[in-house]
Each structure stands twice: as C-alpha cells, then as structure tokens.
Amino acid sequence: MDATIEVRGLRKRYGPTLAVDALSFTARPGQVTGFVGPNGAGKSTTLRMIMGLDRPDAGSALVGGRPYRSLRTPLCRLGAMLDASAVHPARRARDHLRWLAHAGGLPRRRVEEVIELTGLASAAGRRAGGFSLGMRQRLGIAAALLGDPPALMFDEPVNGLDPEGITWIRGLLRSLAAEGRAVLVSSHLMSELEGGADRLVVIGRGRLIADTSVADLLEAASGGRVELRTAERQEAMTVLARAGATVTAAGPGAVTVAGLPAERIIALLTGEGVAFSGVSEHRASLEEAYMELTRDAVEFRAVAGREAP
C-alpha cells in the first residue's frame, strides 16, 4: 500500500471559515485521481494537510499508510507540486533542484535525471526568475519527481499553460499512473481533467460531493436523456408529454426528452405520424456533469435545512 494517498475525516478551520470539513477519499495506485472543486473549495488546504504543512483540526492524512511528517525520506514517498512559482528568482534551476535533493537525502544524479525527464536541459543553468510559466511548471514537476515517488500530487498543474503544455502534462500524468503510481491532480475546471482522470473526487465548500469513477459520473449525469431532432417540434412535445416524458425545448429544431427510452420515443412518434430527423442518446460532458453535481448538492442542502428546523 505504498502508493496511496488516504484522507480520513479531515477538518480545518481558519478563523470563522470552515475550509475543509469531514473530508475522506483515497487516491489509489495506477490511477489519476482528479480532485475538483470551485475556487476556494478547500483543495489546496487539503493538499497542504496531506503534506503536513498545515495541521488538521481533526482527522488524518496518510501517505502510504503513514502521516507525512513521520516519513524519514518523504520525497521518495510523495512528490508534490503545490506552487510552481515557489522558486527563489535569483537561483539557477539546477541549484534549486540540488538543494532539494540534498534536503531530501537523495543521490546527486537524480538532479540531472529529472532535468532530462522534464525537458529542462537547456534552461537548467538559467536563473529561475527569468522562467516563463511553462518552464516553471516543468521545474516544479521536476522537483516532484526528484525522489521517484510512488505517489504524486499536483495542484492546478495546467493552470495558465498553452495547449502544447497541457497535452504534455496530461501525457505525463497518464504515463506516471500507468507505471503504478497514485496521481492526485487538483483543478477548478472539470474540462482540464477530461480524458485525463480515471477517478474524480469532487468537493464544494470543503465537503465531499462525489467520489466516483469518470464513467459512472457521466452515466449518472446523462440520466437516460434522449435528444430528438424534428421540424414539428410542437407536435412532438405534445405527444411525448402525453406519454409521461419530461420534454424541454433545446433549440429551434431540437428537444430533450427525459423519462422515456429511445425505442419507445421512436415508436410513439412513428405511431402518431410526427416526422423527425434523428434520435440520439444524450452524452453529458464532464463539465455538465460537474455542474449538475454541484447544483444537486446545493439543492440537497437546502431541502435538508427545511426538514430539520
């Protein structure tokens, strides 16, 4: 169980605000776990508590089954990039990695290895103050990989990167997970994780909203809805509503139907003689699913509040 990051009942309060509350999830080996939530949801706080930088008020965070602060060679257990800009601008990139290797008790050759791995070879002798965002990101990833750890954490790794950089990081994350590492990636945009994550941990206002696989989430969000394209929109809506479906107009020649399977819709429309040009299963995007999820959570809280005065 070396390559797991496990969070149990974590809570952290900053003054009057509860940043994280009763949060539990696990990032498993061989998977990219997306850690998603809007800005200020408590993602960075959670990552800092996993690394032992912030002290949780309750609960625990374990890396490979042990608290981070008890690890003797922590860089070989968990690599993390919390903040790519956290480099002294007057220091050369290679020197930054060098002191980190010393501090982590790692062999000196690792510095050149990670420089090679992240494609920094030509920039390693330059001062970090002159680095572009993309290069800082690479330097941060190089630092995370220094100990060749079985578990990795990245806080907003693609934030502000160009498309080329985003593609590179996605590929890197996938290949790291494919080697059997646990990879935890936080983001405030679900779209950034589309096609990149195997599993999603969604939080809002410091609480867990969903802990699910991407496939399950999409299926749930799609909710068996069907998209229908027809020129006779009014007639189609009347027919389907009479059959018990929930019908919403989705454009000039399109309706979304919920509550009836596709075969039944085709049969109904054909029976009533309503012309249509296409019927397709609705496939929600990850972003839509995320919006749906957070909205549901808000509604649930509101209802719960009414029931318990």
Partner 1 sequence: MTAATSYRSTVQAEARDGFGRLLLAEWTKFRTVPRWVLAVGASVALTVLVALLTAAGSASSGTGEGTADPARSGIFDMGHFTYQPLEGDGTVTARVTAQEGGARAKAGLMIRGSAERGTPYAALAVTPGDGVRLQTGYRDGGAGGGPGALPRWLRLTRSGTTVTGYESPDGRAWSRVGSVRLEGLPRSALAGMFVAAPDDVVVERRFGSESISGEPAAATAAFDRVSMVPARPGAAWQDRGTPGGPGGPAEPGAGGSTLSGGTFTLSGYGDIGPNAFADDLTKTILTGVLIGQTAIVAAAVLFVTSEYRRRTLRTTFAASPRRGRVLAAKALVAGLVSLAAGLAASCGAMLLARPMLRSNGVAPPPLWDAAVLRAVLGTAALLGVIAVFAVAVAVIVRRSAPAITIVLLLLLVPQIVATGLPLSAARWLERLTPAAGFAIQQTVARFDRAIGPWAGFGVLCAYTALALAAAAFLLRRRDA
Residues at the site binding partner 1, with contacts judged by CB under 8 A: 1-4, 28-31, 48, 51-55, 68-78, 80, 82-83, 85-92, 95-96, 98-107, 110, 143, 147-150, 179-181
Name which of 36 and 145 has its Cβ closer to partner 1. Answer: 145
End-to-end CA distance of the chain: 44
Minimum distance from CB of 169 to partner 1 (Å)?
Answer: 19
Q: Compute the radius of gyration of the chain from its Cα atoms.
A: 24
Give the integer Cα–Cα distance in Å for 217 and 221: 6
Minimum distance from CB of 150 to partner 1 (Å)?
Answer: 4
Minimum distance from CB of 270 to partner 1 (Å)?
Answer: 43
Token readout for 108 is 């000196």
Name which of 26 and 285 has its Cβ closer to partner 1. Answer: 26
- CA distances to 75, 87, 111 from 106, in Å: 8, 19, 9
Name which of 14 and 300 has its Cβ closer to partner 1. Answer: 14
Name which of 103 and 121 has its Cβ closer to partner 1. Answer: 103
Name which of 70 and 280 has its Cβ closer to partner 1. Answer: 70
**Backbone conformation region of residue 271, classed left if phi is above 0, alpha if psi is from -120 to 50, else beta:** alpha
For residue 134, give the nearest of 155, 160, 95 by alpha carbon.
Answer: 160
Minimum distance from CB of 68 to partner 1 (Å)?
Answer: 6
Token readout for 300 is 């649930």
Using DSSP's 3-state secondary structure scheme, residue 129 falls into helix
Specify whether the CB–CB gap between 34 and 199 falls below 8 A. yes
What sign does the dihedral 64-68-71-75 (CA atoms) show? positive
Minimum distance from CB of 124 to partner 1 (Å)?
Answer: 13
Name which of 148 and 227 has its Cβ closer to partner 1. Answer: 148
Name which of 91 and 174 has its Cβ closer to partner 1. Answer: 91
Torsion of CA 80, 83, 85, 90, to 10 degrees: -50
Minimum distance from CB of 88 to partner 1 (Å)?
Answer: 5
Sequence-separated (6 or more) residues with CB below 8 Å from residue 194:
285, 286, 287
Name which of 108 and 306 has its Cβ closer to partner 1. Answer: 108
Minimum distance from CB of 52 to partner 1 (Å)?
Answer: 5
Minimum distance from CB of 21 to partner 1 (Å)?
Answer: 17
- CA distances to 4, 13, 228 from 23, in Å: 16, 13, 41
